Chain A
């Protein structure tokens, strides 16, 4: 699979985000690059604390500062440099051409307003619709995302809906202004599998219809396999591997990617014992000179421990940050 030739709607280059002050500064995101194209879904996958959410918040310019701060990099959305964009224009993009969906809809839906009111407000601000037109559009959107009796639901408060219904409201809100990019941070993690399947299908259908680009953040390789065109694997704030989805699963290169894939229990494959990655993720304050995975990697040698491996292409659109990849011939 090739990357489409048209310019990406979003490109992130060498993004660095730090937290803390003085001697307690740590890099939550350290040199992350990727791009997302119209009509396509890019997944970011990795374990807790690897910097997925900080990356997505950084794109939206929603990292709280202090303690957060941009330490470098460039974010370009449809040709505009987001890091130098005036606040007012950034606000107009958020909820306008850039939609967002978060894991826990209750934290992003305002409990004191009805679900309809929140969408109507967004439509009035971004699309300049009259109150009546906005209400009609809200009902249309609720219908689109599969909420039952949409004309009644618009007058419900968030707490009156189930988790799956609230996530549908979030999606309706994110889609209200026909965004060019949808950023979805663990949109189905809190949901049951049957509801997860419904929501993922809904997002895919909407993408087919509107051509929106999706940045999907998840820790679930199953969700990646089923929804993403391309994947970025993150570990401790860095990109360790990046590839079209089919290539990543067929030909995983980085020892962390390999460990992760083997650790997932499978519903369709027999295995006596799960493979594990020994140890755990280094704490954020750990000073790591070389490869951040070295403390858990059985192939780590002196070079790994002292020099960070660069992300390099090993095949078309397939990049890996490992000194020893492909590891078949590796001898530590």
Chain B
């Protein structure tokens, strides 16, 4: 079976211009030589620190940013050579949602209008069945027709994100690029949206490219995870594998640095020193070497290529098959938290049964 999306050698370098004559004084190497595939119905997460090129990659997939080079195929269609008109057609099959849906929603359009536009444009609905189609998408996203007549500013952050997801879903795409879709939300609302994205995937088989800097969310939602550092992919693996046995020192630092809401786990100690270097002037050899606790001379001179070790692709000279695997544990049902959660869940079910909808 060939993949839904195939990306090879994706590169985007932004020219940096200075002065009155806007002369090019350098380039920001935002994304360099990134390759991956996404299968139908799965979630590939892209993680990494601020500025590592996650959003640039996501936008380049839809050609909202023109890649400098590389090839991208969706369902076999070469995305790089599509004309503007064909690109619009392609967006029926591939959509994007952003961190702040507010910025991308027209404040003067009601939710019904926001959703009608793509439905009609892509011929998914006709004037005759528009009403029903709008109601259907709203329902998928946990909204009701009550919400259809309202404007984006009347919604909370979580509801706005639901509208953003509804708009992306309207044309029943095969793939949605989600660029930090829950990063601006409070945890209780974040959990609602994460569950919604998972439910939709189960129901419709849509694939996600899920961009995030939050490893805990990613572990929860991703099938596979790609880690980026300074514009390059440094590790890619099935999610369970990546978290149990990270092979790249940078991935290990990221996982170690994520705070755990468990005081008995002990305090996290900073595992990498220093800051992210500039993407205009990345370090020689392995770009991680100035911060890498394992760096040797070879790392400063020679850039490590991605190699395959087991199910993992990793770009590190020293990476070896893992001998240790981190243990995760299932949620303990006998803690006060779990017991009380069960009480709340039971009460919620009872309430739903006794109060008519």
Answer whether A327 and B340 are a contact pair too, CB < 8 Å, given A265-B219, A278-B348: yes
Near B by CB (< 8 A), chain A positions 221-262 give 221-227, 245-246, 249-253, 255, 258-262
Contact, CB under 8 Å: A263 / B259: no
Whether B143 sits at the interface, judged by CB under 8 Å, is no
| Bitwise interface map of B from 179 to 210 toward A, beta carbon under 8 Å scored 1, else 0 | 00000001111111011001000000000000
Near A by CB (< 8 A), chain B positions 329-357 give 329-331, 335-337, 339-341, 343-345, 347-348, 350-351
Whether B270 sits at the interface, judged by CB under 8 Å, is yes
Tell me, in angstroms, the Cα distance from A223 to B214 when the chains sit together: 13
Contact, CB under 8 Å: B267 / A192: no
The residue of chain B having its C-beta at the shortest distance from the C-beta of A162 within the complex is B275
Contact, CB under 8 Å: B343 / A328: yes
| Bitwise interface map of A from 188 to 212 toward B, beta carbon under 8 Å scored 1, else 0 | 0000111111101100100000000
- With a cutoff of 8 Å between Cβ atoms, the chain A residues found around residue B186 in the complex are 47-48, 219, 281
Contact, CB under 8 Å: B188 / A193: no
Contact, CB under 8 Å: B50 / A261: no
Near A by CB (< 8 A), chain B positions 314-336 give 326, 328-331, 335-336
Interface size of A by CB at 8 A reads 63
Whether B12 sits at the interface, judged by CB under 8 Å, is no
- With a cutoff of 8 Å between Cβ atoms, the chain A residues found around residue B34 in the complex are none
Whether B271 sits at the interface, judged by CB under 8 Å, is yes
Answer whether A47 and B328 are a contact pair too, CB < 8 Å, given A162-B276, A225-B263, A298-B348: no
The interface centre, meaning the residue of B194, B261, B269 with most chain A CB atoms within 10 A of its CB, is B261
Answer whether A198 and B273 are a contact pair too, CB < 8 Å, given A220-B259, A276-B188: yes
| Bitwise interface map of B from 142 to 158 toward A, beta carbon under 8 Å scored 1, else 0 | 00000000000000111
B51 to chain A, nearest CB (A): 9
The residue of chain A having its C-beta at the shortest distance from the C-beta of B291 within the complex is A194
Tell me, in angstroms, the Cα distance from A98 to B341 when the chains sit together: 40
Count how many pairs of residues, one from A and one from B, have CB atoms less than 8 Å apart in the complex.
190
- With a cutoff of 8 Å between Cβ atoms, the chain A residues found around residue B328 in the complex are 268-270
Answer whether A330 and B329 are a contact pair too, CB < 8 Å, given A258-B337, A266-B260: no
A251 to chain B, nearest CB (A): 5
Answer whether A249 and B263 are a contact pair too, CB < 8 Å, given A194-B270, A265-B217: yes
Whether B248 sits at the interface, judged by CB under 8 Å, is no
Answer whether A263 and B341 are a contact pair too, CB < 8 Å, given A193-B213, A193-B257: no
Whether A271 sits at the interface, judged by CB under 8 Å, is yes
The residue of chain B having its C-beta at the shortest distance from the C-beta of A330 within the complex is B343
Return the contact of A274 from the options B194, B215, B330 (Cβ within 8 A): B194
- With a cutoff of 8 Å between Cβ atoms, the chain B residues found around residue A258 in the complex are 337, 340-341, 344
Interface size of B by CB at 8 A reads 65
Contact, CB under 8 Å: A221 / B261: yes
The residue of chain A having its C-beta at the shortest distance from the C-beta of B51 within the complex is A192
Contact, CB under 8 Å: B191 / A245: no
Contact, CB under 8 Å: A194 / B253: yes
Whether B264 sits at the interface, judged by CB under 8 Å, is yes
Tell me, in angstroms, the Cα distance from A273 to B271 when the chains sit together: 30
- With a cutoff of 8 Å between Cβ atoms, the chain A residues found around residue B195 in the complex are 273-274, 276
Tell me, in angstroms, the Cα distance from A219 to B185 when the chains sit together: 11
Contact, CB under 8 Å: B344 / A280: no
The residue of chain B having its C-beta at the shortest distance from the C-beta of A199 within the complex is B270
Answer whether A264 and B187 are a contact pair too, CB < 8 Å, given A198-B270, A273-B198: yes
| Bitwise interface map of B from 65 to 84 toward A, beta carbon under 8 Å scored 1, else 0 | 00000000000000000000
Contact, CB under 8 Å: A266 / B216: yes
Contact, CB under 8 Å: A226 / B255: no
18 contacts between A and B (CB under 8 A): A48-B186, A162-B275, A194-B272, A195-B49, A195-B275, A204-B267, A222-B260, A223-B259, A225-B265, A252-B336, A260-B188, A265-B220, A267-B215, A268-B260, A269-B328, A299-B343, A326-B340, A332-B350
Closest 5 CB pairs of A and B: A222-B259, A298-B347, A263-B191, A274-B191, A47-B186
Question: A195-B49, A275-B341 are known contacts; what are 16 more A-B pairs with Cβ within 8 Å?
Answer: A194-B272, A201-B268, A222-B216, A222-B260, A225-B260, A225-B265, A250-B336, A264-B191, A265-B216, A265-B220, A267-B258, A268-B328, A269-B328, A270-B329, A273-B198, A327-B340
